[in-house]
Amino acid sequence: MSRKIAGFLIILGVFMIFEWINLGFNLADGHETGFYVVHGILIVVNVVLGIVLGVIGWRGFRRARGE
């Protein structure tokens, strides 16, 4: 994996984590419980996916540097 791709994955992972946590804080009150359950599941899945992408990118970045 090239350093550019690894860097992109790291940046994408950080962005996804930030964006979905921000969405969780910005959900307005007044919706039914199902709305919050579905969005809670989406937030958790996407934060985990962001962490996975960041870890893959970090490992690829370290390997590209020769460590």
C-alpha 41 chain-centroid distance:
13
Global pTM value:
0.83
- The C-alpha atoms of residue 57 and residue 60 are separated, in whole angstroms, by 5
Which is nearest to 65 in space by CA: 13, 7, 15? 7
Largest distance between two CA atoms of the chain: 53
Per-residue pLDDT of the chain (67 residues; tens, 9 = 90+): 889 999 999 999 999 999 999 998 888 888 899 999 999 999 999 999 999 999 999 999 888 877 6
Q: Are 10 and 57 in contact (CB under 8 A)?
A: yes
